[in-house]
């Protein structure tokens, strides 16, 4: 038993990676992945238990929660002597925006249509809004593929000639419009960190519930940080052998194997059942129940 425990410790260490975890960001990951779908509130002690398994001290958790509360991300409530935390409006908005991208089954569908925005008289006044909406600048012209689920086109484009939702032919190297190198490097590191856990689970490894929720938190946390800064591109515009396709497939398999023991831990702290069990089962798209 001691040897097996040591194995999970090593796997957790590999998943954490060399960089120091941002405590506040890990807390948001826990809420979005595990708590919001099950009632939205978690006792402070339970949150500290997950974080402690990740090597994060209770004092650091309290400090991060205080910061998140002051910035409108979380709400603290008292139940006798116990404190409970839930996401505030700002946190819920961020969760809603991120969820579809994090748990998507793959790249978005695309029928070959584009939207183009050309600055009039060189006035590029909405560059930030266009970039946030998924546009990329190419020789002074902004363009994006009109994929399923694309964000709304910014409304303040009076200084632009807008050609919306029109068919076009992309050059074979269209992916070069976007800076993909940093994302590809991050995906490669993610795949490497995931390998020991994937191998252990494939070999029949059975992590304890607390270990499972801790590992589930780490893999979603790292994946969230990658996928939310990656451009939203369909398969036809991705670079050859794009590693995020393999990463999502591996992540889906590992997540499904961690679901049962990690959900058992959430059951043990008396969280309500899933408001949308079918939606949880369909994370990453295969619709197979893990519970």
Closest CA to 276 of 73, 40, 116, 114: 40
Domains of the chain: 2-105+179-285 (1.10.10.10), 113-169 (no CATH)
- C-alpha span between 68 and 186 (Å, rounded): 26
Q: Does residue 130 contact residue 154 with C-beta atoms inside 8 Å?
A: yes
Write down the pLDDT at residue 19: 87
Q: Is 144 helix (H, G, I), strand (E, B) or coil?
A: strand
Write down the pLDDT at residue 71: 92
Question: Tokens 């419009």 map to which residue?
Answer: 177
Write down the pLDDT at residue 200: 94
Q: Does residue 134 contact residue 151 with C-beta atoms inside 8 Å?
A: yes
**pLDDT, tens digit, for every residue of 224-234?**
999 988 888 99
Write down the pLDDT at residue 286: 65
Q: Is 165 helix (H, G, I), strand (E, B) or coil?
A: strand
Q: Does residue 210 contact residue 12 with C-beta atoms inside 8 Å?
A: no
Q: Counting every residue, how long is the chain?
A: 291
The torsion angles phi and psi of 114, rounded to 5 degrees, stand at -130, 155
Q: Does residue 215 contact residue 15 with C-beta atoms inside 8 Å?
A: yes
Helix (H) or strand (E) holding 86: strand 82-87
Write down the pLDDT at residue 81: 81
Write down the pLDDT at residue 290: 45
The total of other beta-carbon atoms located within 10 Å of residue 48's CB is 19
Q: What Cα–Cα distance (Å) separates residue 85 from each residue in 1, 42, 100, 291?
A: 35, 6, 24, 26
Which of the residues in the chain have pLDDT under 50?
Answer: 1-6, 289-291
Range 71-80 contact pairs with CB under 8 angstroms and sequence separation of 24 or more: 73/24, 73/28, 74/27, 74/31, 77/41
Which two three-digit tokens encode residue 134?
A: 């998924």
Q: Is 150 helix (H, G, I), strand (E, B) or coil?
A: coil
């Amino acid at each position: 038993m001691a040897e097996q425990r040591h194995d999970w410790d090593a796997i957790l260490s590999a998943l954490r990676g060399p960089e120091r975890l941002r405590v506040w960001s890990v807390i948001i990951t826990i809420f979005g992945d595990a708590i919001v779908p099950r009632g939205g509130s978690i006792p402070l002690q339970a949150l500290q238990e997950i974080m402690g398994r990740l090597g994060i001290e209770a004092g650091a958790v309290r400090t991060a929660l205080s910061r998140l509360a002051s910035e409108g991300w979380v709400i603290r409530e008292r139940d006798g002597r116990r404190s409970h935390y839930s996401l505030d409006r700002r946190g819920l908005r961020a969760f809603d925006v991120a969820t579809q991208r994090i748990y998507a089954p793959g790249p978005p569908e695309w029928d070959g249509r584009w939207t183009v925005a050309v600055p009039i008289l060189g006035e590029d006044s909405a560059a930030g809004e266009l970039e946030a909406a998924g546009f990329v600048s190419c020789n002074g012209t902004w363009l994006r593929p009109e994929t399923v689920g694309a964000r709304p086109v910014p409304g303040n484009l009076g200084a632009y000639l807008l050609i919306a939702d029109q068919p076009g032919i992309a050059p074979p190297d269209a992916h070069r419009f976007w800076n993909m190198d940093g994302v590809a490097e991050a995906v490669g590191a993610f795949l490497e960190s995931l390998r020991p856990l994937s191998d252990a689970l494939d070999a029949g490894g059975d992590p304890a519930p607390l270990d499972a929720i801790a590992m589930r938190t780490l893999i979603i946390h790292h994946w969230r940080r990658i996928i939310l800064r990656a451009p939203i591109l369909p398969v036809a515009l991705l670079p050859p052998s794009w590693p995020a396709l393999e990463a999502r497939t591996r992540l889906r398999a590992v997540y499904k194997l961690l679901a049962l023991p990690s959900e058992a831990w959430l059951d043990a702290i008396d969280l309500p059942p899933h408001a949308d069990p079918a939606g949880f089962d369909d994370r990453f798209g295969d619709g197979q129940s893990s519970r």
